[in-house]
Amino acid sequence: MPYRLPDLRESRFAILAERLVFIAPGFVLAAILATRSGQVAPEMGLLILTAGVVIASAALAVGFVAAIEIWRYGHIGLARLFRTMLVAAVLLAYPSVLAYRAARLPPLNDISTDIVDPPVFSANPAVLAAREGRRPPEIDQRLRTAQERAYPQIKTMVLEGEAEETFQLVLRAAKSLKWRIVEEVRPDDNRGLGRIEAIDETFFMRFRDDIAIRLRSNGGETRIDVRSASRFGRHDLGTNAARIRKLFDAISNPPD
């Protein structure tokens, strides 16, 4: 009689891991779309997103158990396991970067180039309405000191030139970044003070952040200070500092 190979069992853990990992993208996509469209509050959107990340992490953990089972008992399921690992890696790549930033950076959500005298956000009723009634609070000086250690490159920018010319340069730079400008105050002749307020949104979830730009002109040069504050969350994961750097880059290299 011909020899018959024994039937190979399929790894139950590989099946479970694959089912889990293909549930996770639905949570992630729903969180992004619902938050971007304003259908859910940022807190709820982040909760749904976290659920997707947890499910993807669980699928990855079950996948490792499946790999051990396949290796030890010769069960089939490598194709399922490969698909699981690939989808989980894609879903968890960016959250892993954010987790690294959260561990490396201090929990700050308000960054200023001037830590001693940060720009103050406008109390103009129209500007407050644009910010949905929010006025970022003053930050404890100890947190400002932590900011200086974490982002030593975030400093006041000083440019030579007339006040109005510098104001227009900064305004064009802010507009080139697609910020929503909610207030423009040109430098006056007496004190040389000017200000620009704007609102920016994060890329994926469209969380709104507030920006105050202060210009102080004196003796043919202008000091530019920027404050960027997140509306949601205690930790901005470096977003506000990156936003300030983008503005200064756009000022130094104005678009054609």
With respect to residue 1, please indicate whether it lies within any of the assigned structural domains. no
Q: Which domain holds residue 17?
A: 12-104
Does 159 share its domain with 202?
Answer: yes
Find the CATH number of the domain harbouring 182: 3.30.310.80
Does 226 share its domain with 122?
Answer: yes
Please state the φ and ψ torsions of residue 225, each to the nearest 5 degrees: -115, 140
| Total count of domains within the chain | 2
pLDDT digits (tens, 9 = 90+) for 33-63: 999 998 999 999 999 999 999 999 999 999 9
Does 125 share its domain with 214?
Answer: yes
Does 114 share its domain with 93?
Answer: no
The DSSP annotation for 150-169 comes to H-TT---EEEES-HHHHHHH
User: How far is it, in rounded angstroms, from Cα 130 to Cα 231?
Assistant: 13
pLDDT digits (tens, 9 = 90+) for 126-138: 999 999 999 888 8
pLDDT digits (tens, 9 = 90+) for 58-86: 999 999 999 999 999 888 999 999 999 99
Does 87 share its domain with 133?
Answer: no
Which of 83, 104, 125 delimits the end of a domain? 104
Helix residue ranges per DSSP H, the chain: 12-21, 24-36, 42-73, 78-104, 125-130, 141-150, 163-176, 239-252
Percent of the chain having pLDDT more than 70?
95
Three-state secondary structure of 195-221: EEEEEEECCCCCCEEEEEEEEEEECCE
**Residue 138: per-residue pLDDT:** 84
CA 48 vs CA 21, 41, 109, 144: distances in Å: 15, 11, 22, 32
